[in-house]
Structures are given as structure tokens and as C-alpha cells.
């Protein structure tokens, strides 16, 4: 695996100065979780950005806390240090409504020692009259300082023009031809090893890993190239049932995890062989199927499991019937056991979800269907032709007379016959009825 990517821009700062709001403003997204509670962002979040024809990747980091005795703040600070080391340019965000704090001064020292280019964004200057709020921050020792309001968009153009001036431009043709990669969402209950798997897949500590359930709040992007194919992994917060998510940050994490699943091309669903497949695993699997995502079921921590793969595979199939099309892989994120096999499995599922079958070939398939094998209430439909209407998921429309909503037995028969003829392993298939006019 080789590192890839355009210039790296990193946002740093202490807690609750508006880093995630600035990240969302620059990326024109709601990618990072924003709230009034300090410490909402824990992991690094990364997104590709194209500003004035210049592509780069922007990383949002958690609020840094120096010399904390608590485990999570210490891990967040380690993440910030790693992000700084990989940065080509750093945006140091401070709160214009306060004077520089000891944490600001200590972080400034860390950035000076890094030797990286740094621009200070003095945030919360919500009107032009408040631009004077930036003056006290000259004592931090950086030449480039920009009063901005991340919430209202003031001063963002001037900031971005400065921080991207040394980044190479890219033509529209080059941007169109660039490799978009395969986006993969890593999903599962809290503490099944999602962050450990992400770190193993990309070969670095991109996500915070601790034994505390629910450590990951944001979704963390990381990309690698494996055998010539670019993969973008998203490590999402552990999904719980809505009734179990009382804290605001946790509820927002569930919403964002579901959103990133909808944007992904493939879902990796992690299950724990020690606890077995739970009702919550089935709940997540149902959501994957509902949004029509290609999937791979990943049995993590297999190095700790007892019993055979065959028996546990049957257990998985019995509990996750809605994902019967997904391959099952037995890995250990901690030791690396069979983790590289997930790359070709994810690629195969993604390719299957995007496959198209020609109408001629589909109608030859239709003529060979044995409708006598199907038992449905009332009169059986008579199909005249079939066509593929969409991909991701592959969607087939059956036209004919006496065609109404498909009985579940007929729907299952058609899906099974399509799979037997054309494959599509790893992806759901949708079949739709359409009455032929005339």
C-alpha cells in the first residue's frame, strides 16, 4: 500500500474555538459534528476540497489539551501531533473573543517547532467592526493572521487565497479524469474493533483506539492505494438504537454514520464472534440493505474465537438473512490476520453493484424463466420484456400484463434467478413490476 493524495491542509486549535464550523464552511458540507460542548471532535476528519482550481485535502482535528490525565484527551492530542507532521499548511484557529490562552501559547510553540507554514484564523469576528480582535494574537509569533467568521463566512476567501497560494492548480479535464476511488463505510456496534480495523487497513493510527465503547464520534476518512486501486475508508461511530442514544453528541454520531453509509459505495459490517450476532447487528444490517449498499460481513477478533468458521458462518447467515448476498470474511484487526483480503472483497462487491446487463441478454434470460415453478396467489403475471434501470443497487424492471406489486415469493424467485445467471455477489438486487400499456 502506498500513500496518495494532494497537498494536506490541517486545522488545529484548542477546544470550542470553531474548528469544525470552519471545516464545514471550507468543504461546503456538514461533514464534521458541530455543537456547543467542548471536545465534540475526537478523531481526525478528512475531505477532498477544490478551491479556486486547486485540489487539496482538509483535515479537522480534535481540540488539543496538554498534559491531561484523562485517556481520551491525551489520545486526541496525539492525533493532532500526527496531523501536524503530515501537513503541508496549517490553519491555527483561535477564539477572537478571548485573549490568547496558555493552551494557545503552548500550541503555538509546538507549531513553531514543526517548521510547517502556519496561518492564524481568528474566529468569531462576526462583523467587520470586530476585526481588531485579531491584534492580541500577534504575540503568538506568526505573520499571517486573518479575522474570520466561520459561522457567517466572513473573511474565508482571504484566508483560503493565502493558504492555497503555493498549491498546484488542476485543470477541469484533470479533475474529471482523476481517480475517484471506492468509498467504504466501516460499520458496527460500539467496540467491535472498527477503529482498529481502519488503522490496520491504512497502516497508521488515523482513528483513536481505546477500550472505552463509543470512543469514535465523527466519521474518519483515510485513503490508501492497494494494487493500483484507490480506497477511501470511513470509520463511523458505533451505531446504537435511537432509544439508547441520549447524549446529543452520540445522537449526532448515529445520524452522521447513517449519512456516510448512504454516501458510501460499500459497507463493511463488523461482528464479534465472542458475543455472536446480536439484534443490534441485525438492525445495522437491515439499514445497509435498506439503502441498497454492497456489503462484506467482517467477523473480527477471530484470533480469540472458539469453534469453526463453518459453524459461525451458518450462525451469521441465520441471523443476517437480509445480507445473504454478502461475503463473510474472518479477520483479526489486532493481529492483521487476513485483513488484506478485505481489499479485493470490497472491490468485487463494488464492481458487482455497478455492473450493467444489456437488454438483449436480459430478455434471453427472461424467455428461459420457468414461471411454473413459482407459486403466487391469483393469476401469474406474464412478462413481455425486462430491462436494467439503474446500478448501485442493480435495479431491474419487468414489464408485462397482469403485473402488479410482486408477491414476496415471486420477488425472491426473480432475484435468485438473476443471481444464478449473472452473479452480482456482494450487492442487493432490486426487481420492480411495471404494467405494459396497451
Last residue of a domain, which of 122, 155, 175? 175
Q: Are residues 166 and 48 in the same domain?
A: yes
- DSSP notation for 1-19: -B---S-EEEEE-STTSSH
Three-class HEC string of 282-296: HHHHHHHHHCCCEEE
Last residue of a domain, which of 333, 353, 373? 353
Q: Are residues 267 and 302 in the same domain?
A: yes
Q: Is residue 314 part of a domain?
A: yes
Number of domains in the chain: 3
**Residue 357 near residue 388, CB atoms below 8 Å:** yes
Backbone angles phi, psi at 267, to 5 degrees: -110, 130
Angstrom distance (rounded) from CA 398 to CA 431: 7
CATH of the domain at 363: 3.30.300.20
Q: Distance of CA 135 to CAs 24, 100, 159, 246, Å? A: 26, 10, 16, 41
Last residue of a domain, which of 287, 321, 353? 353
Q: Is residue 219 part of a domain?
A: yes
User: pLDDT tens track of the chain, all 438 residues?
Assistant: 444 458 999 999 888 898 888 988 888 754 443 444 444 344 457 777 888 888 898 888 877 766 555 544 445 556 778 788 888 999 999 999 999 999 999 899 989 999 999 999 999 988 777 777 788 999 999 989 999 998 888 899 999 999 999 898 875 545 443 456 788 888 888 888 888 898 888 875 444 333 444 444 344 467 788 888 888 887 554 434 445 444 544 444 455 556 667 778 999 999 999 999 998 889 889 888 988 999 999 999 999 998 899 999 999 999 999 999 999 999 999 999 999 999 999 999 999 999 999 999 999 999 998 887 877 776 777 888 899 998 989 999 999 877 777 888 889 999 999 999 999 999 999 999 887 665
Q: Are residues 401 and 431 in the same domain?
A: yes
CATH of the domain at 318: 3.40.50.300
pLDDT value, residue 43:
46
Q: Is residue 416 part of a domain?
A: yes
Q: Are residues 235 and 247 in the same domain?
A: yes
Q: Is residue 3 part of a domain?
A: no
Q: What angle do CA 414, 415, 418 make, to 5 degrees?
A: 85
Q: Are residues 198 and 324 in the same domain?
A: yes
Backbone angles phi, psi at 47, to 5 degrees: -140, 145
Q: Are residues 370 and 343 in the same domain?
A: no
Q: Is residue 2 part of a domain?
A: no
What is the separation, in whole angstroms, between the first and last Cα of the chain? Answer: 57
The domain of 149 spans: 8-175
pLDDT value, residue 212:
42
pLDDT value, residue 3:
41
Angstrom distance (rounded) from CA 263 to CA 109: 39
Q: Are residues 390 and 345 in the same domain?
A: no
* Strands ordered across the beta sheet of 220-226: 220-226, 229-235, 182-187, 266-271, 294-299, 327-330
pLDDT value, residue 215:
40
- DSSP notation for 64-82: P-TT-SSHHHHHHHHHHHH
Amino acid at each position: 500500500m502506498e500513500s496518495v493524495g494532494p497537498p494536506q491542509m490541517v486545522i488545529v486549535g484548542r477546544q470550542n474555538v470553531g474548528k469544525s464550523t470552519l471545516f464545514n464552511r471550507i468543504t461546503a458540507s456538514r461533514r464534521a459534528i458541530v455543537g456547543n460542548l467542548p471536545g465534540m471532535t475526537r478523531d481526525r476528519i478528512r475531505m477532498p476540497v477544490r478551491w479556486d482550481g486547486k485540489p487539496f485535502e482538509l483535515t479537522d482535528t480534535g481540540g488539543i489539551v496538554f498534559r491531561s490525565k484523562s485517556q481520551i484527551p491525551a489520545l486526541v492530542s496525539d492525533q493532532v501531533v500526527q496531523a501536524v507532521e503530515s501537513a503541508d499548511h496549517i490553519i491555527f484557529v483561535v477564539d477572537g473573543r478571548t485573549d490568547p490562552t496558555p493552551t494557545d501559547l503552548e500550541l503555538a510553540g509546538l507549531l513553531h517547532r514543526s517548521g510547517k507554514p502556519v496561518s492564524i484564523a481568528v474566529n468569531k469576528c462576526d462583523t467587520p467592526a470586530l476585526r481588531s480582535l485579531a491584534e492580541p494574537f500577534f504575540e503568538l509569533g506568526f505573520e499571517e493572521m486573518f479575522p474570520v467568521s466561520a459561522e457567517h463566512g466572513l473573511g474565508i476567501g482571504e484566508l483560503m487565497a493565502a493558504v492555497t497560494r503555493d498549491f498546484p492548480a488542476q485543470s477541469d479535464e484533470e479533475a474529471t479524469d482523476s481517480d475517484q476511488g471506492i468509498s467504504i463505510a466501516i460499520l458496527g456496534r460500539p467496540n467491535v474493533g472498527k477503529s482498529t480495523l481502519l488503522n490496520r487497513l491504512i497502516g497508521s493510527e488515523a482513528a483513536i483506539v481505546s477500550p472505552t465503547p463509543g470512543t469514535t464520534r465523527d466519521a474518519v476518512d483515510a485513503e490508501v492505494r492497494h494494487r493500483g486501486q484507490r480506497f477511501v475508508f470511513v470509520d463511523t461511530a458505533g451505531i446504537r438504537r435511537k432509544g439508547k442514544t441520549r447524549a446529543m453528541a452520540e445522537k449526532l454520531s448515529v445520524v452522521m454514520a447513517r449519512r456516510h453509509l448512504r454516501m458510501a459505495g460499500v459497507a463493511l459490517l463488523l461482528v464479534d464472534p465472542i458475543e455472536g450476532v446480536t439484534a443490534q447487528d441485525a438492525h445495522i444490517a437491515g439499514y445497509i440493505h435498506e439503502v441498497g449498499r454492497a456489503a462484506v460481513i467482517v467477523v473480527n477478533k477471530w484470533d480469540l474465537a472458539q469453534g469453526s468458521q463453518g459453524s459461525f458462518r451458518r450462525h451469521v447467515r441465520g441471523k443476517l438473512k437480509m445480507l445473504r448476498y454478502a461475503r463473510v470474511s474472518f479477520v483479526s484487526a489486532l493481529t492483521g490476520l487476513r485483513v488484506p483480503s478485505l481489499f479485493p472483497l470490497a472491490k468485487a462487491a463494488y464492481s458487482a453493484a455497478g455492473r450493467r446487463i444489456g437488454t438483449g441478454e436480459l430478455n434471453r434470460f427472461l424467455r428461459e424463466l420457468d414461471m411454473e415453478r413459482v407459486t403466487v396467489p391469483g393469476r401469474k403475471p406474464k412478462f413481455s420484456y425486462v430491462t436494467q434501470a439503474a446500478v448501485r443497487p442493480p435495479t431491474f424492471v419487468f414489464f408485462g400484463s397482469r403485473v402488479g406489486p410482486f408477491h414476496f415469493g415471486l420477488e425472491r424467485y426473480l432475484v435468485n434467478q438473476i443471481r444464478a445467471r449473472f452473479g452480482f455477489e456482494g450487492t442487493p438486487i432490486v426487481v420492480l413490476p411495471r404494467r405494459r400499456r396497451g
